[in-house]
Amino acid sequence: MTERTPLLHYRLSASVNESERRAPPAGQAVEQLPDSPRQRSTHQRQAKKLSTFFGVVIPTLLSMFSVVVFLRIGFVVGHCGLYQAIAMFLVAYFIISMTVLSVCAISTNGALDAGGAYYMISRALGPEFGGSIGLMFFLANVCGCALFVLGLVEAIVATFGVPEAGTVATSSFQVLPSGYWWSLLYGTVIALLCLLVCLVGAHIYAKATFLIFLVVMFVLGTIFISFFVVHPRVIVLPPPSTPTANGTGPPFATTANFTSFKLDTLLGNLWADYTLDYTTGNMMNFATVFAVMFNGCTGIMAGSNMSGDLKNPSYSIPRGTITAVIFTFIIYNLLCVLEACSCDRVLLQRDNSFLRDINIWKPFVTIGVYSSTLSAAMSNLIGASRILYALARDDLFGKVLSPAKKTSHSGNPWVSVLISWFLVQLVLFSGKLNTIASIVTIFFLLVYAAVDLACLALEWASAPNFRPTFRYFTWHTCVLGIVGCAVMMFLINAIYASASIAFMLLLLLLIHYLSPTSSWGYISQALIFHQVRKYLLMLDVRKDHVKFWRPQVLLMVSNPRSSVGLITFINDIKKSGLYVLGHVQLGDLNTLPSDPLQSQYDSWLSLVDYLNIKAFVNLTLADSVRHGVQHLLFISGLGGMRPNTLVLGFYDDCSPTDKLIDPSLSTSQSTDPLGPSLDPEQQSPLFHFASLRGSGDSRDGKVVGPQEYVAIIADAMKMSKNVALARYFNNFDRAQALSPASSSQGKGAVYIDVWPVNLLRPDSCSYVDTCSLFLLQLACILNMVRAWRKATIRLFLCVEEGRSVRGSEEKLGQLLKELRIKAQVYPVPWDEQVALHWQRQGEWSKKQQSADGAEDDKQSAEEEESEEDYVNSFPSNATRLSDDYLSAVNKLILDQVRPPPAVRFLYLPRPPADTRRYTAYLHQLDLLTKDLGPTLLIHGVTPVITTDL
């Protein structure tokens, strides 16, 4: 009998090879797992050298191919036939493709640090899921290392081991003693070799990865060539490991034919013919063969786990992973077709290592099996140690894993390596490959399902900062990925699958109650936001995180009849956040017989239903509007759902327009005043609001003066609330604003203009402060609403002569790219406007120097005091703005409208510190926004955007 490599029971082994993804070169990636600023800076200093091909494509290909491509494709075709084999690959790749889409989505949503699947799950779902899945991922890699070590031992013993009693040696190289204890000794030696590589130089494996890849590709090439150049031959089949009982039953064939390409051979291999597996004696069926085949399709996350060593993870991971998946799919199907056309059914069913016997040089396949198995064992040990080190650094298990934090001078986590090797050595005592492989694959499938769950949770949370550049996924693909992984887990082994899920839930509860609070952000807080009232108490303000920030708006409405356009517009920028309509009624409860607000709630709630918005209503009674707004800012909301943004209508002379007049109802009421149509439930409560006529809405008769109006703005900023002033929304109609017919340029001619520069500070052109980023975030949120998705964000960058226009534009473009915001940047020169400002400064200085000594001392003192008050009332002492300058800036903004935008976002500066300057401040805002159309003046006081995952 010829020399041959045994089956090695690689039913589930390919998925274990996936842990190559955990083997970052030279152990550098482990230092970057935590999120502290110091470690982040260290991470930035370390060079990332791996490209898409070397960092993603090669690891993923090696993980997905492994030894299955050499030993298992014929097994699948032999039992299932060509038709069912291709169908199996289509189903299997559909399942893993759903997970690939989730991996690509998460990896392109912000800065991806080292850590791969553990990092993505923990930072997306929080420490509970991250820690539990991470520990199971660690155990999977440990068992995977032991699996490949035992597989390599069996391959060596089969080739070089002394044959059992009663059998004849087929080679002079069969000199190694065999048996359980000898196999354990060989496995221990191989494990020690892997340990030595991990302790002395993990970079040795990293550098050899490309050579291993070349070996595997070369062996595959020889296999493809052999199908065409090798002549037909008779191949001696290996004896079955489980002979038929009592010698009865059908006899096993001892030889089979390699026929080369023949039509009869193809026709004989088209349909399924399930029979006994000659290695186990078990009867095969569709489910068992599919479970075996599926393990050649795993390993899809090998590239994402090299994220810490990639030049551009967000670019490389999607492209590299998808490329590897497509390539392996093509190779597997080509092998299926070639084997079905050239090999007898008996050969495919009875000899899993027949590819070596038909190869142009038999040792090629053996070399491929040995190299891929050894590399998989080493990478699993490296990956397990890195996962354990990451878990220890994150302190999810307290002091239990604290020793694993220790590293060498070069940053190699040697204690984690020793612990991982010790556990591998314990697993080696089992000596059963099938049992280990089942556990490993189920653990990996659980990790895949967790990645899909993380992506699904981020999508369902609808967080504004979840906007991955990879958009070829939906929540449907995430659900399909979860269901597919779950089905495969129970198909492989229902008992192990149930036990692994129960173990994960136990770990999740332990970490939830025992681990310290992390700073990663809790997606549960974003998901609870969408739940019913009984979950509201679970929202914890101490767990708020910037990446899950959303606008929570308190819109102050004086009379809804003139505010319909503003109410509907603000509903678009709330991004599933809290939306409260606030109203202040002047009065004193001591002088009233009852609360006048109770009877008004029905009208306000009906207004919400009528406008089809998702908003709450808060009414208050106060002696002044300012005090009423303070009340609402203090008490609105519950728990973590409290307003963080105050929106006010602008203080101007615009005549209000009633937008709630329904002529049909008015006619019916006048026609039959006593008929059924006057039923209170049929009368629209919208008409119970006070009429605009005689309501004192003129500037002279307003219940709020300019001094009190600006004081409300200042109060909100003192309370750390963002403020937005809405002007010219009286006649705003969203349908009309978004209609292409309203613009001469037709389709795509809807714009959202953003001016992120403080136009009242001509001496400063900063556009990256908190307020500017708040403007960008709100504009992006508006652009994410379905009705506004076709709108284009235009970002205007004010530049002066002598400054680097290209540099500023490139810098802003890079910022937008990091923030995943699509916008068109337009540099706007404003030298003429700035010149008007500085001209005013010169006039002010001359006026100050020309003060006549003969002037009255009191008058001079009053002028100096007035000047000092003016200067100190603005952020910069050089800020003395003239009406000419403000009018020029207003004209500058108007000149940029080709076509005019649907809405503008402008920078709202803080009110002056001196309350006596409030009127002048309001006058400046009035000049700045005159005739601009729908405009939001926005001031942000809190960070709302992040580039992190």
890 occurs within a structural domain: yes
Q: Phi/psi of residue 832, each to 5°?
A: -65, -40
Asked if 108 contacts 378 with a C-beta cutoff of 8 angstroms, the reply is no
On the question of pLDDT at 926 being above 70, the answer is yes
Q: Please, what sign has the CA dihedral across residues 838, 841, 847, 849? A: negative
Task: Encode 770-783: b = buried (16+ Cβ within 10 Å), e = exposed.
Answer: ebbbbbbbbbbbbb
**Could you report the per-residue pLDDT of 606-663, keeping only the tens digit for each?**
888 888 898 999 999 999 999 999 999 998 888 778 898 999 999 988 878 888 875 4
Question: What pLDDT was estimated at residue 561?
Answer: 87
On the question of pLDDT at 357 being above 50, the answer is yes
773 occurs within a structural domain: yes
Pairing of strands 553-556, 255-258: unpaired
557 occurs within a structural domain: no
Q: Which H helix or E strand runs over 452? A: helix 433-461
Q: What is the Cβ-side half-sphere exposure of residue 405, based on CA atoms within 13 angstroms?
A: 13
On the question of pLDDT at 680 being above 50, the answer is no
Q: What is the pTM of this model?
A: 0.67
Copy the structure tokens of residue 629.
């707004």
390 occurs within a structural domain: yes
Residue 25: CB atoms within 10 A of its CB come to 21
Average pLDDT over residues 401-411: 80
Residue at a domain's end among 461, 480, 514: 514
Pairing of strands 792-799, 824-829: parallel
For residue 406, the domain's CATH number is 1.20.1740.10
CA distance 38 to 184: 45
Q: What is the mean pLDDT of the chain?
A: 78
Torsion of CA 34, 38, 40, 41, to 10 degrees: -160
Residue at a domain's end among 460, 481, 514: 514
Nearest to 550 by CA among 459, 643, 445: 643
Local structure of 46: helix, strand or coil: coil
Question: What pLDDT was estimated at residue 276?
Answer: 86
Nearest to 176 by CA among 158, 154, 156, 161: 161
151 occurs within a structural domain: yes
936 occurs within a structural domain: yes
For residue 750, the domain's CATH number is 3.40.50.620
Average pLDDT over residues 668-693: 49
Residue 657: CB atoms within 10 A of its CB come to 13
565 occurs within a structural domain: no
> How many angstroms from the chain centroid is the CA of residue 243?
54
Residue at a domain's end among 465, 487, 514: 514
Which range (223-227, 325-329, 573-577, 828-832) has the least confidence?
828-832
In the DSSP assignment, the letter for residue 897 is -
Question: What pLDDT was estimated at residue 88?
Answer: 92
Which range (194-203, 350-359, 511-520) has the least confidence?
511-520
Nearest to 300 by CA among 24, 62, 12, 13: 62
Asked if 945 contacts 776 with a C-beta cutoff of 8 angstroms, the reply is yes
Number of domains in the chain: 2
In terms of residue numbers, what domain contains 789?
733-739+746-839+879-948
Residue with the bigger pLDDT between 35 and 385: it is 385
What is the pLDDT confidence band of residue 838, given thresholds at 50, 70 and 90?
A: low
CA distance 423 to 430: 12
548 occurs within a structural domain: no
Nearest to 360 by CA among 471, 239, 221, 487: 221
On the question of pLDDT at 479 being above 80, the answer is yes
